[in-house]
Structure 1
Amino acid sequence: MQLGFSACGNVTATVLELSSHFDTVCTDWTDDYYIRQSRCIYSSPDFSDMVYIDSFYLNQFLFTQFNSTLRKFVGFSEIGMRVAEGWNNSPFLLSERTGWLKTFLLFFYICVISICAYTNWKTIINGKKCFNVMTVLMCSAYEFYPPRIKVSWLRDGKPVTSEVTSTMEMADGDWYYQIHSELEYTPKSGEKVSCMVEHASFNKPMFYDWDPSLLEYERNKVAIGASGLVLGIIITATGLIYFKKKSIGRILVP
């Protein structure tokens, strides 16, 4: 018997940060360490408030920064202000930074907004009782990126480790990944079993609860289907017997 439900978590992330590091020698007697750090910051799930920030550091001190909200470079030191003024007078640099914001938005649409944690439960039931029977639950997360993810089990809010039989992570071949975790245990009446999914696309762990009432619903569907099948067999058998009797009672006239 297979039971299933799916839930899509509220997809929100706070910061995507991409860093580029460059080591340069600016003079003959000292080495200066130059860092450029590009990142996007947002809080809304539709990325409508996304801000692109391009920061430039010299020896760990921020001297110039581009902010897409201001649409210009800002200097934080005497040298930084002169650099920012020169860059702000370059239409190419300003349009390039605006293009980077669009690139980040496209990246997030492909790699983040499509991340939903779908939870499928596969339950094996022996006999008529739901409880006091060995059961296997499977929690699966599909189409997520980046690949780092944690799937764990909770029983009445407490972590479960000993009953987890297997956890498999696989690549889909299209930049996305999937993971499957199985829990083998004996259900108890009134017990709450949950699957907890932690991923960079969530600002907090997502919980997916197993609803034992689904078992009764599925068994009722099976019982109704079986009853209909038996009734159909009885009607068919009765019709065949009646047809044979009528055929035997007929007198063939040449």
Structure 2
Amino acid sequence: MASSFLGFTLLFIGLYGAEGFRNLYLSRCVFNSSDLKDIEYIYSTYYNKVELARFSSSVGKFVGYTVYGMKQAEHWNSDPSVLAQRSHSKERYCKHNIDNWYSNILTKTAKPHVKLSSETPPAGQHPTRLVCSAYNFFPKEIHVTWYSDGKEITSGVSSTEEQADGDWYYQIHSHLEYTPRSGEKITCVVDHASLENSLITNWDPSLPESEKNKIAIGASGLILGVILSLAGFIYYKRKHRGRILVPSN
């Protein structure tokens, strides 16, 4: 299943009175599939951020949470037309929008972009800390595993939760703290619904790309300095040889 317990929410907010008292009416749909039986419609009324009463399609009636809210719930529950209107919202409001979500968004997947890097560990801890980061994937569920020479590593492994980027994509960061051995092959394996096969990334113990770039820039600057110095020396020698010495009286 592409997603679980997602919510579609629509807010209706009104301000009344000079002092800015706020009435809030909130309709939302909680679902884990597009089947009508897996959908719950909830309608709530609030006053100054306090929920007064709520209708749930699972309960089939209004429930009050304050003294005033209980009076309102009793009044609404006594009106069959009000209950019928809220009950029909599960199919009219929720089912319609959820079908659109599943067809346009929730059935789509995005493959993760994986980056394997190293971090400087805190003093007194393991000499090496690797980070396997997966970016821009959807849906949320993902599995990251570490291997050493083909065998799964279970100790020294920690991971963040899947972090939402706010644009339907997620990211996750898995950390491995270990003592490197000569010739050891460390691998990060990512499994996701968007992938036909596991995404395998091997750790390259050579210098990271940023350090390589720094060295390349430094070496280029050094070579350029030598060339400029040599060109200046040659120019000076040629100019000196072409000079005619005039004897003084």
Class of the TM-score when normalised by the shorter of the 2 chains: 0.3 to 0.5
TM-score, with normalisation over the residues of structure 2? 0.44
Compare relative contact order (CA 8 Å, sep 6+) and give the higher one, 1 or 2. 1
TM-score, with normalisation over the residues of structure 1? 0.44
